[in-house]
């Protein structure tokens, strides 16, 4: 029969229905994210969840197949969703405008078939690793450099993770919870050839994983100068802090539209709720006594608006420290997030189970 997928059916091991049942999260809709998203949409993966906080700039146009010049200034996920539906109307596209850790709760991540990290900085990679390891979700990391790239597929939370391959000083400095804001794209040399190559290798591994076919483990690297590829095995670092799995999770009938106070009232009074990433409390200037509360990870600044001096920030990782009238959404907690709760009896886990505002972040 001549249908959209008739050539797929001739590929040994290919099961279109298996792909159709899969949900893949794509974190980052830059150059690599564009290529991966269009390939998976055309391959017929059932649902793609797109996460990106950024808007389209002119420099994206040389590498992003889904974006046009008229799209500059629009949200990447919004435009990507429109173009992917054109490519394959049968794919469900769930576009979330925001940093993936703030728009995709851990309970939702746990249900996804695979997360593909198409990000461009170490902090985001560590957030991917930490969150996927917590809920034991498989993830694939794709990176490029001017004449090459690498792809890493992690399917076993007990085996080596992305952070296991970092030198000890980086691991200590970078895996500690911090109140970092999503990083802006760092300008490095890049063009479509390595983007397309890295994304094609990554998509091949992703499809094989989704089709339950064998996949290479370790770091796969390609070098466009020499034409060489190789596979580097990575060993589990026993000191790596990113392998603690979440235990039993209790569902709480609270959504991220509820306030902090409403969540705390569902818990025993001595509860301390831990946030995965610290939240800014105040920005202050010691030179002129300028001080401002800054709860919602809004755009931060380095220079005092009053006197031009350097500013400093205080932050907290405990929900009880934050004004109770704020909604969980306002401090960057996604729907269906899982949070750790410490009480006199020990440590437990809660999942926000709704009802949810399906319009927030959706594009």
Provide the sign of the torsion angle of the four alpha carbons 193, 202, 139, 253, taken in this order.
positive
Q: Are 60 and 33 a contacting pair, CB within 8 Å? A: no
Peptide bond into 169 cis (omega under 30): no
**Least separation, in Å, of the C-beta of 174 and Zn ion?**
12
Site residues for Zn ion, 308-337, by CB under 5 A, read 309
Q: Per CB under 5 A, which region of 94-102, 260-268, 276-284, 304-312 contacts Zn ion?
A: 304-312
What order of strands is seen across the sheet that includes strand 47-52?
A: 92-97, 47-52, 23-27, 114-117, 139-145, 148-154, 218-223, 229-232
Residue with smaller CB distance to Zn ion, 242 or 297:
242
Q: Does 224 bind Zn ion (CB under 5 A)?
A: no
Residue with smaller CB distance to Zn ion, 89 or 308:
308
Site string for Zn ion, 11-50 (x = CB under 5 A): ----------------------------------------
Q: Per CB under 5 A, which region of 40-48, 114-122, 249-257, 282-290 contacts Zn ion?
A: 282-290
Q: Does 124 bind Zn ion (CB under 5 A)?
A: no
Q: Does 298 bind Zn ion (CB under 5 A)?
A: no
Q: Does 252 bind Zn ion (CB under 5 A)?
A: no
Q: Does 107 bind Zn ion (CB under 5 A)?
A: no
Q: Which of 50, 115, 151, 164 binds Zn ion (CB under 5 A)?
A: 164
Q: Does 166 bind Zn ion (CB under 5 A)?
A: no
What's the CA dihedral at 316, 173, 334, 160 to 10 degrees? -140
Site string for Zn ion, 232-251 (x = CB under 5 A): --------x-x---------
Residue with smaller CB distance to Zn ion, 161 or 196:
161
Q: Per CB under 5 A, which region of 78-86, 208-216, 247-255, 301-309 contacts Zn ion?
A: 301-309
Q: Which of 115, 304, 338, 351 binds Zn ion (CB under 5 A)?
A: 304
**Least separation, in Å, of the C-beta of 277 and Zn ion?**
18
Tokens 């596979």, located at residue: 231
Q: Which of 11, 231, 232, 287 binds Zn ion (CB under 5 A)?
A: 287
With CB under 5 A, what is the number of residues at the site for Zn ion? 13
Residue with smaller CB distance to Zn ion, 312 or 343:
312
Q: Which of 147, 274, 284, 290 binds Zn ion (CB under 5 A)?
A: 290
Distance CA 23, CA 362 (A): 17
Q: Does 285 bind Zn ion (CB under 5 A)?
A: yes
Q: Does 122 bind Zn ion (CB under 5 A)?
A: no
Q: Does 132 bind Zn ion (CB under 5 A)?
A: no
**Least separation, in Å, of the C-beta of 117 and Zn ion?**
15
Q: Does 134 bind Zn ion (CB under 5 A)?
A: no
Q: Are 243 and 316 a contacting pair, CB within 8 Å? A: no
Distance CA 220, CA 202 (A): 9
Residue with smaller CB distance to Zn ion, 95 or 166:
166
Q: Does 101 bind Zn ion (CB under 5 A)?
A: no
Which parts of this chain interact with Zn ion (CB under 5 A)? Answer: 161, 163-164, 240, 242, 285, 287-288, 290, 304, 306-307, 309
């Amino acid at each position: 029969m001549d249908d959209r997928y008739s050539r797929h059916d001739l590929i040994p091991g290919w099961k279109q229905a298996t792909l159709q049942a899969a949900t893949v999260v794509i974190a980052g809709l830059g150059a690599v994210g564009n290529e991966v998203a269009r390939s998976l949409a055309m391959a017929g993966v059932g649902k793609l969840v797109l996460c990106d906080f950024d808007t389209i700039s002119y420099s994206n146009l040389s590498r992003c197949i889904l974006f046009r010049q008229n799209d500059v200034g629009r949200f990447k996920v919004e435009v990507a969703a429109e173009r992917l539906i054109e490519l394959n109307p049968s794919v469900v596209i769930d576009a979330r405008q925001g940093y993936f850790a703030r728009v995709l709760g851990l309970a939702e991540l746990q249900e996804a078939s695979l997360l593909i990290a198409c990000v461009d900085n170490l902090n985001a990679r560590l957030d991917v690793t930490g969150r996927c390891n917590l809920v034991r979700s498989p993830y694939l990391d794709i990176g490029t450099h001017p004449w090459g790239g690498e792809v890493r597929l992690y399917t076993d939370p007990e085996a080596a993770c992305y952070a296991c391959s970092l030198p000890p000083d980086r691991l200590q400095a970078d895996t500690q919870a911090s109140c970092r804001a999503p990083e802006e794209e760092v300008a490095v040399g890049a063009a479509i050839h390595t983007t397309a190559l890295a994304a094609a290798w990554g998509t091949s591994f992703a499809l094989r994983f989704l089709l339950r076919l064998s996949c290479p483990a370790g770091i796969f690297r390609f070098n466009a100068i020499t034409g060489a590829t190789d596979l580097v095995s990575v060993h589990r670092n026993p000191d790596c802090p990113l392998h603690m799995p979440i235990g039993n999770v209790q569902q709480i009938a609270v959504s991220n539209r509820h306030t902090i106070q409403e969540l705390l009232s569902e818990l025993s009074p001595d509860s301390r709720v831990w946030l995965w990433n610290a939240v800014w409390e105040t920005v202050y200037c010691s030179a002129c006594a300028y001080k401002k509360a800054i709860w919602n990870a809004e755009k931060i600044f380095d220079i005092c608006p009053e006197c031009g001096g350097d500013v400093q920030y205080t932050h907290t990782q405990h929900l009880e420290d934050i004004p109770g009238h704020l909604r969980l959404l306002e401090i960057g907690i996604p729907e269906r997030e899982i949070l750790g709760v410490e009480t006199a009896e020990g440590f437990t886990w809660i999942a926000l189970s709704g009802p949810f505002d399906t319009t927030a972040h959706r594009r």
